[in-house]
Structure 1
Amino acid sequence: MGSTERNLPPAAGKRVLITGVSSGIGEALAELHLRHGYTVFGTSRREPYRFMTHPNFRFRPFDLSKTADIGELFKGPFAEIPSRGVDVLFLNAGVSGNVPARGEEFSLAEVQHVLNVNVLANKAILDLILTSTHRPATCVLSASMAGVRFRAGTLTYSLSKAALAALGGVYAEENPDIFFAVLGLCNVDTGLSRQVSFSQRIADFPDLQALQQRALAPGYMISAAQRAEDIREVIGSPADYGVKSGVFVDMRTVLTRQAKASEVLPQT
């Protein structure tokens, strides 16, 4: 990969909003952007204690499953966002819905909960922020191959991620001034991925067993910090990576393709 700093404008005065900021990729994105001088607005149910004293960090606790109350999110330290906006929006928070399990084992209430967090909360946040006079230049949606390639045992997660990709695709068509990066984050070592890969029920789902074996292979799983760097690089220069607004892409495929394109053939 090339230099991240090369591709992005100076961070002075730049503002980002990140959901799911207390762990995993959301936490890594917050750390990365704080390190580069951004003002970071972060939300999650739990406090990310490591950032709470940082002068450029603004935190608002919120349960994104309560979609009817999204307006409450934009109070207190977030009150200025509807008027001043943010430059980049990371819709990162997500839940799996206790996968793996067979489809009929998920209650409608469980399906609704996952859809609320993974899709409907994102729509509500987007709708509010898009009314700002300072609209974001980029919106990053944490999508997944689970919304494209369907595996037994993953109904709630796959259903929500397919809907999230559709949300990004439609909003990209309707808002051409904003770049919607719909990214399948792939093979990242987070609590959510471990929940799926190492569930006690994994033996009931052969396709997920194969996924588990890949996860156990040395070097396959990468850190959330590395994926945060990858995301920042890609959205800084999406055309270089062949990423189009509103079109789902798998990060592993994108990065592999870019690495091959960057190879210099030996002189003959």
Structure 2
Amino acid sequence: MNKNILITGCSSGLGLALTKLYLEKGYKVFGISRRKPKIEHKNFFFKEFDLSKIESIKIELSTFITNIKEIDTVFLNAGMLGEIKEITKLETKEIQEVLNLNVFANKELLDILATLKTNTVVGISSGASKNGSKGWGSYSLSKSSLNMLLNLYAKEMLDTKLLAIAPGVIETPMTDYIRFDIDDEIFTSAKKLKNGEIQKPEAAAKRLFEVLKTKNEFESGSFIDVRNI
């Protein structure tokens, strides 16, 4: 019997790479994103949905998710960066937009998953959840909140292993924006990204797959940075 994987944000970047990897390994993959990836596979099942519409998540996605019945691994991968700028210049509504997708959408999804037999939930976090770098206000607030969200659900979803995992820097349009469009004299963290390790999404997916083989070494609700393993 093929194991079931649920991936949000499956149309590009790490989500797409994870989708392809798990399909290659013989899993059934259930994907949710705003647009359908160019994947035609008998074991790929897709639901088009914009997760920023948090008030509609339980209405639109409950049936799709609960019909899976038993899920081996969930990747809460969908997310957004928000604009890199000084926090004194960030409006509350800008922060709220990022929090809606990166935190509150996942809260709605976790409520659904808590009703199912779900073995493992991975929230895609970031080193930014621990580092208060100038310019990363919305993203850092959202990812630190995601870490705590998973920690709190771990206290109630006792039969599920929940982990917040920072996969390292991945080559995506998001990181391209930081590396090429941001003034690294003003926002020095951009300089670190330009000069540091950067992975292709496929390499990051394989790395994450290997890390999950050791998931029992970590307490449910933990934050893991793959670069520190």
Per the TM superposition, whether the score is higher than 0.5 is: yes
Aligned: 1:61 with 2:38: no
Report the CA distance between 1:183 and its aligned residue. 0.5
Report if the CA contact (8 A) 1:82-1:131 is conserved. no
1:213-224 alignment, distance < 5 Å: 213-214=195-196, 220-224=197-201
Report the CA distance between 1:87 and its aligned residue. 1.8
The match for 2:97 is 113
- Specify the SS of the correspondent of 2:124: strand
Counterpart-to-counterpart distance in 1, 2:205 and 2:192: 26
**Aligned partner of 2:228 among 242, 253, 266:** 253
Extract unaligned runs of 5+ from structure 1.
1-11, 215-219, 255-268
Aligned: 1:43 with 2:32: yes
**Aligned partner of 2:120 among 113, 138, 141:** 138
Counterpart-to-counterpart distance in 2, 1:212 and 1:80: 39
1:47-81 C-alpha deviation (Å, 9 max, x unpaired):
201x1x21111111111111000024426xx6362
Report the CA distance between 1:156 and its aligned residue. 0.4
CA pair 136-174 structure 1, distance change in 2 beyond 3 A:
same
**Aligned partner of 1:236 among 194, 213, 216:** 213
Counterpart-to-counterpart distance in 2, 1:236 and 1:73: 32
The match for 1:4 is none
Aligned: 1:79 with 2:64: yes
Aligned: 1:95 with 2:80: yes
1:20-67 C-alpha deviation (Å, 9 max, x unpaired):
101111001000111111111101112201x1x211111111111110
The match for 1:21 is 10
Aligned: 1:149 with 2:131: yes
Root-mean-square deviation over aligned CA pairs: 1.7
Report the CA distance between 1:84 and its aligned residue. 1.3
1:191-202 alignment, distance < 5 Å: 191-202=173-184
CA pair 178-223 structure 1, distance change in 2 beyond 3 A:
same
Counterpart-to-counterpart distance in 1, 2:134 and 2:105: 26
Extract unaligned runs of 5+ from structure 2.
none
Counterpart-to-counterpart distance in 1, 2:53 and 2:75: 19
CA pair 69-80 structure 1, distance change in 2 beyond 3 A:
closer
Counterpart-to-counterpart distance in 1, 2:185 and 2:108: 38
Report the CA distance between 1:85 and its aligned residue. 3.8
CA pair 72-201 structure 1, distance change in 2 beyond 3 A:
farther
- Specify the SS of the correspondent of 1:203: coil
Counterpart-to-counterpart distance in 2, 1:21 and 1:210: 27
The amino acid that maps onto 1:245 is S
Report if the CA contact (8 A) 2:164-2:222 is conserved. yes
TM-score, length-scaled by structure 1: 0.80
Counterpart-to-counterpart distance in 1, 2:107 and 2:204: 24
Identity of aligned residues (%): 35
Number of residue pairs the alignment of both structures matches: 229
Report if the CA contact (8 A) 1:74-1:82 is conserved. no
1:216-257 C-alpha deviation (Å, 9 max, x unpaired):
xxxx21111111111112212224xx4332111111111xxx
Report if the CA contact (8 A) 1:186-1:250 is conserved. yes
- Specify the SS of the correspondent of 2:198: coil
1:156-197 C-alpha deviation (Å, 9 max, x unpaired):
000000000001111112222111121111122122222222
Larger-Rg structure:
1
Return 79-88 or 184-193, whichever deviates more.
79-88
TM-score, length-scaled by structure 2: 0.93
